[in-house]
């Protein structure tokens, strides 16, 4: 999760894109 936060902060993406990325990663982890 921290990796996503770092990437999102570096890319300065909106919260919507970050949320989508978290959903994708959670689906992959399953």
What local confidence, expressed as pLDDT, does residue 14 receive? 74
Token couple for 27: 């689906």
Domain boundaries, the chain: 1-30
Look-up of token digits 């990437």 = 7
Per-residue pLDDT of the chain (30 residues; tens, 9 = 90+): 677 667 666 666 677 887 888 888 888 776
Torsion of CA 9, 14, 19, 25, to 10 degrees: -50
What local confidence, expressed as pLDDT, does residue 30 receive? 67
Q: For the whole model, what pTM was predicted?
A: 0.42
Reported as half-sphere exposure (CB side, CA atoms, 13 A), residue 18 has a value of 15
What local confidence, expressed as pLDDT, does residue 27 receive? 84
At 7, give phi and psi (nearest 5°).
-65, -45
Token couple for 10: 């570096």
């Amino acid at each position: 999760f921290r990796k996503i936060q770092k990437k999102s902060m570096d890319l300065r993406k909106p919260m919507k894109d970050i949320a989508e990325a978290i959903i994708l990663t959670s689906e992959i982890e399953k």
